[in-house]
Amino acid sequence: MKIQDVKKHIFSTLEPFAAAKGFKILRGRFALSRKAGSRTDEIFFTYHSWGFEVNIFPYVSVDYGEITTICNDCDFILNHSAFINLLLLQRIKLQGFNPDLRWKTQIVKTDRFILSDDEPDDYNRLDMGLSPLLPIALDFISQYDSINSIDRLFNTMPIEQYSPYCSGLDTHCMVGLISAKLSKNADYENIKRMYQRIVKKEDFTIEMKSSFSRIVAYLEQI
């Protein structure tokens, strides 16, 4: 099974949705993307391919240019302000979140669509699986339509150490701190101290800890 054939099918299926909702199809990035000011909304896909089988992972993300710029200027590469696997998000909406849910879906492979040469009906199952994910993606995007909402996502106490909305605790610390500052969170100083304790305690890389210190210093100036 060729990944290019799978991409072509997915884009063909999603083209009416993209046109209706103002998304551009980015074939090279395997994504639907639209901009609203400094924010970029995306529905995107990653994949694993073994020739006879293709695994497709659907995601939704929101990216704020202000947050990304601060991270990049301090040598921390940030791809998304917040993102999540759409099949995982669908599961969370159905049964609620628990910290083990993400890795459990990875183990049992319910975080992906599996297509193979041996199953000619896989495309139909893919289409049926994608359809209910689209309103879930739009709801996510509308829910996190401001930096203030990103602040609430990552800084509502007690914080979730294994948040499904970022790639890891290091990213959580970065985005949580920056969004709290930019949204003028009244509890910023306590939030800053909390993340400083986490960064000091956790086994993060020296480079990440250095970037975090630079971000703290930068935010003190604005």
Q: 160-206: per-residue pLDDT in tens?
A: 888 999 999 999 999 999 999 999 999 999 999 999 999 999 999 99
pLDDT < 70 positions in the chain: 1
DSSP state of 31: E
pLDDT of residue 117: 83
- Structural domain boundaries enclosing 196: 3-220
Domain count, the chain: 1
CB proximity list for 125: less than 8 A, separation 6 or greater: 113
- Please state the pTM of the whole predicted model: 0.95
CB proximity list for 17: less than 8 A, separation 6 or greater: 23, 32, 134
pLDDT of residue 206: 98
